[in-house]
Amino acid sequence: MADYETPKLLADVPVVVVPNIKPGAMSHSSPYVAKPDHNIPLGFPGELVENWQEAAIAKMGDILQKYRSIQVYLDSCVKCGACTDKCHYFLGTADPKNMPVARQDLLRKVYRRYYTFAGKYFPKLVGATDLTKEVLDDWYSYYHQCSECRRCSVYCPYGIDTAEISMAAREILDSIGYGQKYCNEIIAKVHKIGNNLGLPGPALEATLEDLEDDIKTDTGVDVKLPVDQEGADILLITPSADFFAEPHIDGLIGYAKVFHAAGLSWTLSSYASEAANFSMFIGSYDNMKRQAERIRKAALELGVKRIMVGECGHAWRAAYSFWNTLAGVGHGAADDDKYARMLQKQLDPRFPVPQHICESTYDLIQQGAIKLDKSANDHRRVTFHDSCNVARASRMGDMPGGQFIIPREVIKAACNNFFDMAPETIHEGTFCCGGGGGLLTDDLMEVRVKGALPRMQALKYVVDEHKVDTLAAICAICKTQFAKVLPYYDFPMHMILSVHQLVGDAVILGSND
């Protein structure tokens, strides 16, 4: 790993300056390769197969037939350049292969060579190339410098989504045994144990009991964190980071306090103890379905009426956008869809399934079912980071854009001092934390630090302008990433916290015990 310097933040501007391109600036960056132990449980070859070239090209053909997005996106790009200055990794590294169109072209030039008339007969003219080992290694390097945040897709005139391309490329890489260790190791843990941390049921129970004691010590109230409670109304699926460390765990305490204050019946599941679905990052439909089906199974066994999801960005995308498709966790199945009907008939039709914890808390606040004392957060000056998968790949509430309104309304109900970052850096234009999409691993630290630059620049602006000292987020990856990279930019590590920590600190606990 080359030595690198943390980019410098500018004074008095919320957005970074677009750099001149520096070819090859990040070509040395690539994550640890998955080993057979990580690959085989996911149904992938243990290591790089001998006929990898042939197999990769065949897999590409298979994906082209299964995914309209890939077929259309590989054909439609006109190289207009609109996306070239939109990726946080490009802005932070200046490597031109981190421009969305150039990242896509790594795959597109091979697609053209093997699957289009122009590329077969006039490769030089249209920039088509053979799939060589060099190209394959470029794929491995640069498709692991994409956090699948979809910022480019907002700005593309055809909606071309590099996240889809990166997922397809990783799916091809996995199919030839050339996958990434970080993601595949974690997915294997979920298949075996049920969560990313590999935390077994008894350890989870012990953790939750400790938390109950902590809350009791802090507040004097018996707030429960139930697990595997059959007949509970709500099944809460949350990222396992919430069971593990600061600042996540204070968010979990916040959920528990809200449920307690509102008198709701809820439970966690030790079998489905993970909201994250890293299989999405590697574009594996099969593994994504296998992970999602744990939620379906837990919901059926516990007999719950509602399914709720804790603070996690890509998990909310997987839950909101995909769970219904993957595992029938949602409403509106066809009459002859026995698989989905099985769970659906058990669910309360008055509530969306799945429901985001912020949607629920927002509703409870609106209904007056919980009361918040804003002054409890008067020592904080808060800004909010829109997590990319929540902002650009999902929704909250009934109307488009509810994902921007609801978390902010929840924050504003819990504290008096709230300041948004600059408009071009939030909502659908939000900048990724730099650690999403399966990049939250120490072997990718350089790209994580540099990729955080645009967000850090926007943060610095509100820190300078409004003396903001707290960065609230609703994503486990964002929280972990920020805790790690904030100090690189001379911000205190502890300024990142969960939205539900703010809520938890402000909520007035009733006597529902």
Partner 1 sequence: MSFLTVTYAVLFYAATAILIGGLAYKISVYARTPAPLKIPTTPAPTTTSGVVMRMGREVIFFESLFKSSKWTWLFGWMFHISLALVLIRHLRYFTEPVWFWVSWLQPFGKYAGFFMVLGLLGLWSRRVLVDRVRYISAPSDHLILALLVGIGITGLSMKFVAHTDIVSLKAFVLGLMYFDWQPLPADFNLLLHLLLVAVLMIIFPVSKLLHAPGVFFSPTRNQVDNPRETRHLAPWAAPLDSSSAE
List binders of partner 1 among 125-144 (CB under 8 A).
Answer: 125-127
Q: Judged by CB, which is closer to partner 1: 77, or 225? A: 77
> Phi and psi of 399, rounded to 5°?
-115, 150
Is 54 a binder of partner 1 (CB under 8 A)? no
State whether the Cα torsion 316-320-323-329 is positive or negative.
positive
User: Within positions 87 to 116, which residues make up the interface with partner 1, using CB under 8 A?
Assistant: 96, 99, 101-102, 105, 116
One character per residue 423-462, x = contact with partner 1 (rule: CB under 8 A): -----x----------------------------------
Is 202 a binder of partner 1 (CB under 8 A)? no
- Amino acid code (one letter) for 124: K
Instruction: Count interface residues toward partner 1 (CB under 8 A).
Output: 86
Is 350 a binder of partner 1 (CB under 8 A)? no
Q: Which of 85, 138, 246, 443 binds partner 1 (CB under 8 A)?
A: 85
Say how far apart CA 252 and CA 311 lie, in whole Å: 9
**DSSP per residue, 380-405:** --EEE---HHHHHH---SSSTTHHHH
Is 322 a binder of partner 1 (CB under 8 A)? yes
Q: Which of 159, 198, 200, 201 binds partner 1 (CB under 8 A)?
A: 159
Please give the structure tokens belonging to residue 470: 């707290």
Q: Judged by CB, which is closer to partner 1: 161, or 274? A: 161
Say how far apart CA 278 and CA 199 lie, in whole Å: 16
Compute the least distance from the CB of residue 160 to partner 1, in Å: 7
Say how far apart CA 123 and CA 118 lie, in whole Å: 7
Q: Provide the Cα torsion 31, 32, 33, 38; round to 10°.
A: -120
Q: Judged by CB, which is closer to partner 1: 73, or 461? A: 73
Q: Judged by CB, which is closer to partner 1: 67, or 271? A: 67
Q: Which of 330, 434, 436, 438 binds partner 1 (CB under 8 A)?
A: 330
Compute the least distance from the CB of residue 117 to partner 1, in Å: 4
User: Within positions 375 to 404, which residues make up the interface with partner 1, using CB under 8 A?
Assistant: 391-395, 398-401, 403-404
State whether the Cα torsion 85-88-91-96 is positive or negative.
negative
Q: Which of 54, 222, 286, 373 binds partner 1 (CB under 8 A)?
A: 286
Compute the least distance from the CB of residue 101 to partner 1, in Å: 5
Say how far apart CA 263 and CA 367 lie, in whole Å: 13
Interior angle at CA 384, CA 379 and CA 389, nearest 5: 150
Q: Judged by CB, which is closer to partner 1: 131, or 370? A: 131
507 within 8 A of 372, measured Cβ to Cβ = yes
